[in-house]
């Protein structure tokens, strides 16, 4: 099914007030975006559904060694469930709350693409410009375009696997984006640009550098102007590279990464607290900070194309996420498409994050686990499990249950989470 990608702007009602505001501010008023989805029923999800959702989250927390999680589930026809679960760490009994902020990992990727599309629509760059036009020093990338960096089809490799041990031992070190990119470029895949999807953190770093050079503006400002301000995402930002705090004057979910203990087994009870990590390790790939409500609203905008310039078909050439992937599992436009859901998932030291939305039903799921040792996969499978559970939530009075069309069941995703467990799961019920 082809998804619509038309930008909808809220227009001021009183022209005189607009003129006055422009005169006072001396600049254009930021546009505000309306996300068009079925209206959300203003009530909690049914108790039975919430019990199933909570059990799924707690199961995934155990599998990933996470002491805490923040989760949001919005089923417009039935209700919503937004909450924090668990504690800040295995040794800190402070409860996790829904208002806590965290590093949003690869949710940064589609935001950077949002900036690219707007800048291209303004004529500042072309989607088919070479990255070498804006980021000198990488001569082997002359055939790689800005569009391919956004789509993940550049063939450029990744730096995360190589540098994660260094981040864990020296989390506050500030990394230059060019240095990060060089590690990824040095591990480029044997893939012709534009032919296949290869997840590349270095590719998004190069895209961020190109956008800064083309606009003579910081990526932090660009994301604010083109993404967070139009959507009213007050808890979302790309911090300065020198700032190691997740958030200023806001509650923060502590982030952890389990390390091997004595005998080489993973120490699940005393994970490394990696909350004070330099955002420079993520930059344009995984540097954004957010909260669960903003995350949900953002993926709704992503799925509906609310931020896309008029005429853009963002997901017109999706590629399989990996060779042999199911036909319903593809990537394009900085996002991942899983059946009817559009979103993104991944990890950054401290956090595993996953967020998805269905542009037709409005079903939206976002979750963060506060341990990154398993990467982002468990968070993705958990979110899909939650989506399958919520898709069957009983409708409120006057509402009807939409067709979910998910190509998986909750049990399938639950079993996959169990197979990926790196920490002990709760004991199974004794066999009869």
Q: For 279-291, give the DSSP string.
A: GGGTHHHH--EE-
Mean pLDDT by 10 residues, the chain (432 residues): 42 32 35 92 98 98 98 98 98 96 98 98 97 92 96 96 96 95 86 94 98 98 97 96 81 97 90 96 97 98 97 96 97 98 98 98 98 97 98 96 91 98 77 35
Which residues does 142 contact at the CB level (< 8 Å), separation at least 6? 130, 132
Sheet containing strand 329-332, strands side by side: 92-95, 79-89, 68-75, 364-369, 351-358, 341-348, 335-338, 329-332, 319-320
Q: Is residue 108 part of a domain?
A: yes
pLDDT of residue 201: 97
In this structure, are residues 81 and 271 in contact, taking their beta carbons and an 8 Å threshold?
Answer: no
pLDDT of residue 363: 98
CA angle 65/108/55 to nearest 5° reads 30
Which residues does 193 contact at the CB level (< 8 Å), separation at least 6? 143, 144, 145, 148, 153, 154, 155
Pair type for strands 319-320 and 68-75: unpaired
Q: How far apart are CA 361 and CA 76, in angstroms?
A: 7
In this structure, are residues 372 and 347 in contact, taking their beta carbons and an 8 Å threshold?
Answer: yes
pLDDT of residue 428: 54
pLDDT of residue 105: 98
Tell me the two tokens of residue 404. 């979910």
Q: For 156-183, give the DSSP string.
A: ---SHHHHHHHHHHSTTPPPPHHHHHHH
Q: How many helices (H) and strands (E) does the chain have?
A: 13, 15
In this structure, are residues 333 and 110 in contact, taking their beta carbons and an 8 Å threshold?
Answer: yes
Q: Is residue 426 part of a domain?
A: no
Interhelix angle 377-390/47-64, rounded to 10 degrees, is: 170
CA angle 252/254/255 to nearest 5° reads 125
Q: How far apart are CA 184 and CA 320, in angstroms?
A: 21
Q: Is residue 411 part of a domain?
A: yes
Q: Is residue 84 part of a domain?
A: yes
Q: Which domain holds residue 353?
A: 9-21+29-419
Which residues does 255 contact at the CB level (< 8 Å), separation at least 6? 102, 103, 246, 273, 274, 275, 277, 349, 350, 351, 370, 371, 372
pLDDT of residue 429: 42
Q: Is residue 181 part of a domain?
A: yes
Digit-coded pLDDT (tens) for 212-232? 999 999 999 999 999 999 999
In the block, residue with structure tokens 């389990």: 258
Q: Is residue 425 part of a domain?
A: no
Total number of domains constituting the chain = 1
Q: Is residue 264 part of a domain?
A: yes
User: Distance of CA 312 to CAs 119, 316, 382, Å?
Assistant: 13, 9, 31
Q: What is the CATH number of the domain that holds 217?
A: 3.40.710.10
Reference 271, options 421, 95, 57, 67; nearest CA is: 67
User: Distance of CA 382 to CAs 158, 163, 352, 368, 415, Å?
Assistant: 25, 27, 11, 10, 10
pLDDT of residue 186: 87
Q: Is residue 1 part of a domain?
A: no
Reference 387, options 19, 151, 53, 137; nearest CA is: 53
Digit-coded pLDDT (tens) for 63-122? 999 999 999 999 999 999 999 999 999 999 999 999 999 999 999 999 999 999 999 999
């Amino acid at each position: 099914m082809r998804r619509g990608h038309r930008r909808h702007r809220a227009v001021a009602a009183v022209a005189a007030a607009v003129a006055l505001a422009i005169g006072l501010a001396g600049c254009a008023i930021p546009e505000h975006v309306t996300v068009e989805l079925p209206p959300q029923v203003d009530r909690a999800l049914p108790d039975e559904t919430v019990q199933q959702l909570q059990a799924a989250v707690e199961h995934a927390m155990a599998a990933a060694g996470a002491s805490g999680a923040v989760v949001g589930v919005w089923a417009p026809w039935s209700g919503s469930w937004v909450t924090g679960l668990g504690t800040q760490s295995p040794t800190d009994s402070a409860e996790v709350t829904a208002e806590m902020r965290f590093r949003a990992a690869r949710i940064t990727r589609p935001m950077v693409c949002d900036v690219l599309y707007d800048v291209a629509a303004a004529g500042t760059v072309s989607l088919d410009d070479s990255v070498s036009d804006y980021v000198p020093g990488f001569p082997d990338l002359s055939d790689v375009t800005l569009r391919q960096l956004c789509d993940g089809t550049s063939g450029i490799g990744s730096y995360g696997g190589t540098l994660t041990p260094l981040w864990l031992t020296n989390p506050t070190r500030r990394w230059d984006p060019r240095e990060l990119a060089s590690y990824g470029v040095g591990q480029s895949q044997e893939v012709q640009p534009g032919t296949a999807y290869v997840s590349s953190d270095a590719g998004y770093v190069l895209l961020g550098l190109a956008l800064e050079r083309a606009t003579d503006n910081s990526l932090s400002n660009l994301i604010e102007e083109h993404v967070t301000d139009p959507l009213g995402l007050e808890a979302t930002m790309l911090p300065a590279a020198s700032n190691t705090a997740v958030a200023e004057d806001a509650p923060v979910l502590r982030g952890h990464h389990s390390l091997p203990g004595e005998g080489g087994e993973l120490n699940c009870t005393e994970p490394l607290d990696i909350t004070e990590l330099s955002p420079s390790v993520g930059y344009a790939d995984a540097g954004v900070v957010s909260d669960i409500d903003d995350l949900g609203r953002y993926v709704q905008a992503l799925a509906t194309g609310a931020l896309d310039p008029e005429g853009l078909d963002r997901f017109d050439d999706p590629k399989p996420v990996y060779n042999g992937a199911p036909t319903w599992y593809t990537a394009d436009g900085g996002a991942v498409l899983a059946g009817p859901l559009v979103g993104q998932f991944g990890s950054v030291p401290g956090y595993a994050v996953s967020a998805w939305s269905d542009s037709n039903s409005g079903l939206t799921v976002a979750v963060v686990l506060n341990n990154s040792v398993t990467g982002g996969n468990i968070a993705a499978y958990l979110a899909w499990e939650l989506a399958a559970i919520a898709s069957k939530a009983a409708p409120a009075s006057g509402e009807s249950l939409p067709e979910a069309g998910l190509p998986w069941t909750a049990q399938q995703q639950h079993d996959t989470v169990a197979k990926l467990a790196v920490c002990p799961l709760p004991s199974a019920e004794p066999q009869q």
